[in-house]
Amino acid sequence: MTITETLAAGTARLNMARIDSPGLDATLFLAETLGLSREQLILRGPGPLPETASRRFFQFIDRRIAGECTAYILGRKEFRGLDFLVNPGVLVPRPDTETLVEAALAELEVRRTVENTGSASGLFPPPPPASLLDLCTGSGAVAVALKHEWPALEVFAADISPEALETARLNAARLLGAVSEAPAGPEAPKIQPEFSNLSFVQSDLFDRISRRFHLITANPPYVESGSIDGLSPEVRREPRLALDGGADGLDLIRVIIAGAPEHLFPGGALLLEADPRQMSRIVSLLEQQGFLDIQSSRDLSGAERVIRGRTPGENPARIGGTHGSGAFRV
């Protein structure tokens, strides 16, 4: 069979199994099999496909039909233009989570405006570099993407799963070139104020965190426990630890909101990804903990995907005379 014929046969099998985007998945599998780009695959379409390559390609097809997601089969997933390694120990990065990155970048841009205004006017001493804590970091997608797009940012990434942290470290090393590793393991001391570059620690949310940050981001488990069995087969293969948010999906979100004020500087921001249907309840939780200036940011589908609250203190948007990038809405 030619490359084109094999691709058509694989696409047909995926289509019959009612797999979403069968043509795209088949193309990605065949490109991976041959070590080609999608463009190169098209150019070589009329050529013959070796038998060994054909067998490997249809093994990929069979795994996809069995309910394994494309990212796990390929071992990677694109996020913010970066190629992240993924495996069954981490949640697959979603396009919706790019909203969390964009919201954090908007906060950093506001802070930079404040820094520039203060330096130029002489009103304020130079502030320390912006620092970020990324909870439930998983594959490190949010932490690494933010460090990649804002190199001066001090980034600290935490996760309860040692397997997830290992994947996050690998992604940081591949995509950024260097990582500072924090102590890990049950006997490790809490993280101290000395902090630079990009660091990782195994921590159950704030348990091993003892400093403050300008920003805290989190894409925590927020699926209701009773809803997990109704998710698609490929999603159910992802780690339950990264999905299960308890009876109402808010168990970890409650803990994060309760613990964030003592880990944020005055005027610091907490940014949470959550289910759009949970937003009104999260607003109430933030208000109960004294958060101010609560705003949400919409994903590509127009749904409220990220919510932000500030700790009491000087609002950098007001200091800088701007509301930032306009990514948020009241």
Dihedral of alpha carbons 197, 138, 310, 99, sign: positive
Q: Left if phi > 0, otherwise alpha if psi is -120 to 50, otherwise beta: which for 129?
A: beta
Both 157 and 206 in one domain: the answer is yes
Both 186 and 263 in one domain: the answer is yes
Q: How many CB atoms lie within 10 A of CB 88?
A: 12
Domain membership flag for residue 201: yes
What are the pLDDT digits (tens) for 232-251?
989 999 999 999 999 999 99
Retrieve residue 165's tokens.
């942290």
Domain boundary among 66, 83, 106: 66
Retrieve residue 186's tokens.
């049950």
Both 291 and 206 in one domain: the answer is yes
Q: Left if phi > 0, otherwise alpha if psi is -120 to 50, otherwise beta: which for 272?
A: beta
Both 60 and 100 in one domain: the answer is no
Domain that holds residue 18: 3-66
What are the pLDDT digits (tens) for 158-169?
999 999 999 999
Domain membership flag for residue 229: yes
Both 200 and 310 in one domain: the answer is yes
- CA dist., res. 94 & res. 145, Å (int): 13
Give the total number of structural domains in the chain: 2
Q: Are strands 76-79 and 82-85 parallel, antiparallel or unpaired?
A: antiparallel
- What pLDDT is stored for residue 182 in this prediction? 55
Query: What's the average model confidence in pLDDT over 57-69?
Result: 96
- What pLDDT is stored for residue 38 in this prediction? 83
CA geometry: angle at 213 spanning 212 and 215, to 5°? 145
List the CATH number of the domain containing 48.
Answer: 1.10.8
Both 155 and 272 in one domain: the answer is yes
Both 246 and 109 in one domain: the answer is yes
Domain membership flag for residue 77: no
In this predicted structure, the answer to whether residue 44 has a pLDDT above a threshold of 90 is no
Domain membership flag for residue 101: yes
Closest CA to 297 of 41, 20, 105, 25: 105
What are the pLDDT digits (tens) for 99-118?
999 999 999 998 777 666 55
Domain membership flag for residue 140: yes
Query: Chain-wide mean pLDDT for the chain?
Result: 87
What are the pLDDT digits (tens) for 249-278?
999 999 999 999 999 999 999 999 999 999
- CA dist., res. 305 & res. 218, Å (int): 12
Closest CA to 79 of 165, 164, 138: 138
Both 40 and 122 in one domain: the answer is no
Q: What pLDDT band is residue 129 in, cutting at 50, 70 and 90? A: confident
List the CATH number of the domain containing 144.
Answer: 3.40.50.150
Domain membership flag for residue 21: yes
